[in-house]
Structure 1
């Protein structure tokens, strides 16, 4: 097999690497399942690598070079796709999010990153990294705000978020920061760029009390689920698990306030912050 040329890092290296993988696999006459079996990954995972929705890790790259005789091409180019401005536990999810056609998210204690203002993101970053330099905080905030540009497109991706009432009531940065943050969310909802629902305290026990949940759909690949904890996260492609988490999100939607009532609550809380009223 002719060895492909190394990728240009100024392009979209992960997408290009995925195309090279698909080409090499088809030239070798292998199915996605057959290529993935020796490294204990599913055919759908191979498909996600080929579509550019999942990152290629070094152990996989070495396997592909051995199978296809590509003289270290996939191993060398892992460096081009491995660099990320995001924390290690979140990098792959952020990259998948950028190419998703639909994102559905349940946020427990925070306004979701895609909806955060600069001031809110700064407060969160400083709380997470109390000893970090100003430069480090600036880099973290810039990366978070850059992610939000995917909402600049007027229709894609669909973004549907269920926010726990706790995220509204926790005064991150004080009243002025919270008022601005909630007004930003309401503005996106009013121009119909996002769908937002609030899960009120009165809903009591619910399906996702154990934490954060994000579901992503793609044009050229199966759906993914991302679950997250303190400094850790896992991107899941197991169909049964994704189906289960989709049902969890559906239950949250059913328990939450309607979009209309949610917007009214968000704007009411924002007004209270503006007027300096205390929250529980």
Structure 2
């Protein structure tokens, strides 16, 4: 007879969180539908959280504590997931990214996170968090790689990224890591619904005034803008600001190399890194 799976058997923190919710829910003899009604979410939402496929919201975690009488257990677990994997300010973006119909990104010096390889992401996080333990870095990398799961959905978002040439030539993790990253980028760009354009140095000031940013569009709600500065990332829903950023993005695409030429350009740079 197979032994029951305990939450400790899951290496993924979202799976552990979901397994804990399910274990306590069953112990309290509460159905998914009842828990959804209590927390203000659908039965499907509860099911996705329990299976580890969806990052739960703070409202859901607090609702679980209220329904189960667990005195802050699940809200505390969620807070530790946020600290260990994503910065708290980035969690709302990740939740929106999972629902987006298109992801439009401009990257100035590093490949956008959803397109990074494990080795590249590890080098990025290690450089940005030089005093953290290897376990913390692994958690951050795992969270970044999980974001790619959105591209494997039945109806994945369209992804379009404009990469400044500096992204391709900035040495992150060494030559072999860069060669692997650029090869992976080419592999993703060959998939339907994913477009990659390179803004070459020779484009001059066309991209020089733009900071990295990402636009998320949705089928049934307005687009949002995510941008980063030295104080951290922030979401913007102001219609005029989002519209202005969409206009800037259109101009960036117009000044960048066409997708086919961009892939040829990426392969040329990849060969420079390849042993």
**Pair in the same fold by TM > 0.5:** yes
Alpha carbons 2:58, 2:75 under 8 Å: kept: no
Change over 3 Å in CA distance of 1:202–1:175 after alignment to 2: same
Q: How far has the Cα of 1:171 moved from its partner?
A: 1.0
Alpha carbons 1:9, 1:80 under 8 Å: kept: no
- The answer to whether residue 126 in structure 2 is matched with residue 126 in structure 1 is yes
Name the structure 1 match of 2:113. 113
Q: How far has the Cα of 1:230 moved from its partner?
A: 3.5
Q: Deviations over 1:15-74 (max 9, x none)?
A: 995658xxxxxxxxxxxxxxxxxxxxxxxxxxxxxxx999678xxx9xxxxxxxxxxxxx
CA distance in 1, matches of 2:36, 2:226: 20
Q: Deviations over 1:173-230 (max 9, x none)?
A: 1110000000000011123341000011111113563411100012332111101124
| Structure 1 moving runs of 4+ over 6 Å | 13-16, 52-57
Name the structure 2 match of 1:214. 214
Alpha carbons 1:162, 1:199 under 8 Å: kept: yes
Name the structure 1 match of 2:49. none
Name the structure 1 match of 2:89. 89
Name the structure 2 match of 1:196. 196
Q: How far has the Cα of 1:247 moved from its partner?
A: 0.4
Q: How far has the Cα of 1:91 moved from its partner?
A: 1.4
CA distance in 2, matches of 1:142, 1:108: 23
Q: Deviations over 1:206-262 (max 9, x none)?
A: 356341110001233211110112450110111111000000100100010000110
Name the structure 2 match of 1:48. none
Alignment of 1:239-254 (within 5 A): 239-254=239-254
Name the structure 2 match of 1:103. 103
SS at match of 1:215: strand
Alpha carbons 1:14, 1:55 under 8 Å: kept: no
Q: When the two structures are aligned, how many residues end up with a matched partner?
A: 225
Change over 3 Å in CA distance of 1:14–1:125 after alignment to 2: farther
SS at match of 1:111: coil
Change over 3 Å in CA distance of 1:255–1:158 after alignment to 2: same
TM-score, length basis structure 2: 0.71
Q: Deviations over 1:132-189 (max 9, x none)?
A: 1001001010100111111123752000000010000101011100000000000111
Change over 3 Å in CA distance of 1:265–1:88 after alignment to 2: same
CA distance in 2, matches of 1:197, 1:171: 19
Change over 3 Å in CA distance of 1:263–1:17 after alignment to 2: farther
Change over 3 Å in CA distance of 1:78–1:204 after alignment to 2: farther
CA distance in 2, matches of 1:173, 1:213: 23
Question: What is the alpha-carbon root mean square deviation over aligned residues?
Answer: 3.5
